[in-house]
Structure 1
Amino acid sequence: MRPWADGDDLKLLQVWGDPENSMHHQDRSLLRPSSNEPWSRCIVAEADGLPVAAATIFRSSLHPDRLSFYAEVAPEHRRRGVAAQMLQILEAEVPNCAVQSLKARVAKRSAAQCFLKDNGFTKIQASRQVIVQPGAISLPDLDSAGLDLEDLATGSVELTQMVADFYNTVHTWDRAEMTIGKAQQMLLGPETGASGAVVLRDTSEGGNNTILAFAISYTSERTDEPADVLLGWNTALDDSDAETACRAMLALLAAHFPVKVEVDDAMGPLKTVTDELIAAGGAEYDFEALIYAKDAA
């Protein structure tokens, strides 16, 4: 075992192979040299002088209450206790950080689930990417419903505030400190890949032109792949109204092309809509992930 060093990413890629999905790709990008600001620790396991595994724990400025843990071991070196040994080494570093709890995410029905359970982690959330087929939902009559679909700049303060409020509300299970600045940096700025946004407004009498739901596209060009969209709602709405807004927005987004949305169990109104679509054959799971935590006593 040794600390992470420059060039380890390329060496490990040779023994690990390509990432299996987008989550896998994102998690691998977390492996980097240890640091105290932001706080992180990263180690590599070698066999015969060659890197075969790596693991990291790090503190996020967005979710401050738990350290994130990620480990990966080359296939031929699995089931030998390598990941458990790396976790033990990293946990010994936890007292050096102000945060003592850990979390990790894994693909559903993967061997990593058993590893986390065996090492004291408990499932706290499920997340899935859902592909909604074109025309799966009947289009709303916007005029009679007192609704209007409006393009809005991703730099809009009104939109940014709503996105930040939404993110914080649906992450009470892993407290978030999303601010307007962080929302622009992490979800809406050009570097995030955000290519456009639309909002559904309440234009009925007394509706005050309030935003009911929003959708941010991360697909810059029309391709055969489903458009990648972040869909959320005004958190001042009750669940029934939020569900109605999500249904209308999703119908409009997927009128002619497939759309992919991320749905956590904590996103009750949107989950209700997508669960109904999946049951009716109008949508399907593209990928499912589980989040586990090991909270300090």
Structure 2
Amino acid sequence: MALQYRAWQDGDDLELLQLWGGPESPPAEQFRGSFRPSAESPWNRCITALDQGVPVAAGFVYETALHPERLWCYVEVAADHRRTGVGSTLLTMLRLEAAASPSGITALRSKVQPGTPGALFAEAVGFSPIQRSRVVVVSPGALAAPAFDDASGPQLEEAATGSVELTRAVADFYTAVHGWDRADLTVGRAQQLLLSDTSGAGGAIVLRDRPRADGGMIAAFAVSYTQARTDGPADVLLGYDTALKPSEQEAAVATMIAMLVHQFPVQLEVDDSMTALVRVVEPLLAGDAATVDAEAYVVALEERGQD
């Protein structure tokens, strides 16, 4: 009997989770939280596939104001219904919906973990990698703690997460390292998404190129999303001033990491586009002073793929 397809309904997730079981990867777990009934604002479309009235697969596509040049897309199929064409059918239906999206954007993006069924499906239907993202855990003492003896040199200080200066630094960094998927991150949006209480931001420190009283600017920053000290690594967003010379960027990043891991481990998200961070982290990985905890790729299906 042929499968039926309809718009997502409340309660579909409860039935699907019974068939799907645990998520195959962190990206899959995150995407599962985005299934919801179709809506116009913000625009999204979500479709469920049913086998004899029972949901067995689903997919969605939606717009995001933060990265406006592509639509997020995700498809998941119960294991016993894979390789039957249901995933491809859902993707085709979602692409037809995307063609009618208010923004007119039809290029798609998703996120997969290498070697998973989701990654293999994405490759088979034409998605290609546009960015690699790793979660890297840096061990305590991986870099020697620097001395700040020169009162006129670089200075480390605490920063309020509500600081306009810090928020601008975060927004500028995020925009600069997302040239591969243009970001429309205003100061207000940066504060809401990355620095507000609801974002989980618990504190921040900044490294200035010289004392603030002497006009020192933020060369690097670190925002913690771990509210209380535990045995596990603190989750930290580390960024830097991309307008600096490459050598200065790397020096600022190395100094910040050294201070962060003086006593405790930290967990950093390292995209390949974060050039200075990658250059500092790679030798630590090679020397076993850091480990890759997770790896994922953002993959894209561009408009030309529809021809």
Question: Which band: TM-score by shorter chain?
Answer: over 0.9
For the 8 Å contact 2:25–2:113, the answer to whether it is kept is no
**Residue-pair matches, total:** 297
Measure, in 2, the Cα distance between the counterparts of 1:180 and 1:205: 21
Matched, 1:214 2:221: yes
Q: Which one of 147, 166, 179 corresponds to residue 141 of structure 1?
A: 147
Percent of residue pairs identical: 48
Residue of structure 2 equivalent to 1:70: 74
Q: How does 1:1-297 map to 2 (within 5 A)?
A: 1-97=5-101, 98-144=104-150, 146-203=153-210, 208-297=215-304
Q: Give how far 1:75 is off.
A: 2.1
Gaps of 5+ in 1: none
Gaps of 5+ in 2: none
Q: Give how far 1:204 is off.
A: 6.2
Measure, in 2, the Cα distance between the counterparts of 1:280 and 1:69: 37
What is the aligned-residue RMSD (CA, Å)? 1.7
SS in 2 for 1:155: coil
Q: Give how far 1:73 is off.
A: 1.5
Q: Which amino acid aligns with 2:197?
A: P
Instruction: Out of 5-14 and 197-206, give the one that drifted further.
Output: 197-206
In the TM superposition, what whole-angstrom CA distance separates every residue of 1:231-286 from its partner, at most 9, and x where no partner exists? 00012212211111111101111111110000111000001111110001100100
Instruction: Out of 114-123 and 242-251, give the one that drifted further.
Output: 114-123
For the 8 Å contact 1:202–1:208, the answer to whether it is kept is no
TM-score in terms of structure 1 length: 0.95
Q: Give how far 1:156 is off.
A: 0.5
SS in 2 for 1:143: coil
In the TM superposition, what whole-angstrom CA distance separates every residue of 1:184-218 from its partner, at most 9, and x where no partner exists? 11111111111111111122699622111001111
Q: Which amino acid aligns with 2:129?
A: K
TM-score in terms of structure 2 length: 0.92
SS in 2 for 1:126: strand
SS in 1 for 2:171: helix
